[in-house]
Structure 1
């Protein structure tokens, strides 16, 4: 597919496009759970600007258009909390979500010394859960938020290196 999508840090100029895309992407989630009061749909520009100031926000751009985004922050214990992974509906199913997630993991490890990654999604959002599992995340908890919605929390330990990091660590432990 001949699309050249670039991933980079979001700037203040991107805030309105990110929020618009967020509203668009979370409509299907809201419909799935029958709840249009979910936080991604009620978030304001000021909320998002504050997130941009204190965390790591990435955007995927196709030309001038923001077609995807993800954000993360690292808590005091080294846990990187990743959220709001969004990809424009017409750009979905091309691996862009995977690219965004890998990019934010890598940046949080490099710039903020993340020791593990955590994300949450609704229990009926099967596509999300499948993607996260494929990328090495394991469900660790489920919390009932309302009669219609439970949030599944998934976690992943960072790799020490992209290829074979786990293997060498196992050998080191048994040597």
Structure 2
């Protein structure tokens, strides 16, 4: 059986699969907050295609099937905004969300000069918060959106590779 999941850049051909997966993955979030009008559930295919063209979008593939995705962009001040991290329910709890997050971080730092990473999640989304904390994110702000929802913004700096120190010359 042993098919492995690969992560690479999304293409225009992936748009429909990403949108269907997004719809599936955000159902539990909508239920958790009692709000099925959240943007991930109302985004149109044309809006997603525009996002694919304007930002960095990665997909996780199992064969030809898109089983995960994440998006990111970098502001003029170097802040990488990461969002829409989704993993098919049958693929969750196997590290794929973490792999996608690390992959988008690396891509945004290397190709778009990110200086810090920022993402947000709902205040009741404990699993998301656990994942982000495990990967080095810390809460920096909470914004009440409605009586049912507060968004927790989390950030972490881009890791700077350690400099290789020259060996001391022996006398």
1:3 deviates by: 4.2
Q: Which runs of 5+ in 2 are unaligned?
A: 164-171
Verify the 8 A CA contact 2:3 2:63 in the aligned structure 1.
no
SS of aligned partner of 1:136: coil
In structure 2, the partner of 1:20 is 20
In structure 2, the partner of 1:103 is 103
Q: Distance in 2 between matches of 1:144 and 1:43?
A: 22
Q: Distance in 1 between matches of 2:50 and 2:138?
A: 30
TM-score normalized by the length of structure 2: 0.93
In structure 2, the partner of 1:56 is 56
In structure 1, the partner of 2:137 is 137
SS of aligned partner of 1:141: strand
1:48 deviates by: 0.7
Task: State the Cα deviation string for residues 127-151 of structure 1 (Å, max 9, x = none).
Answer: 0000000000000000001110000
Q: Is the radius of gyration larger for structure 1 or structure 2?
A: 2
Over the residues paired in the alignment, what is the CA RMSD in angstroms? 1.1
In structure 1, the partner of 2:66 is 66
In structure 2, the partner of 1:8 is 8
Q: Which runs of 5+ in 1 are unaligned?
A: 169-175
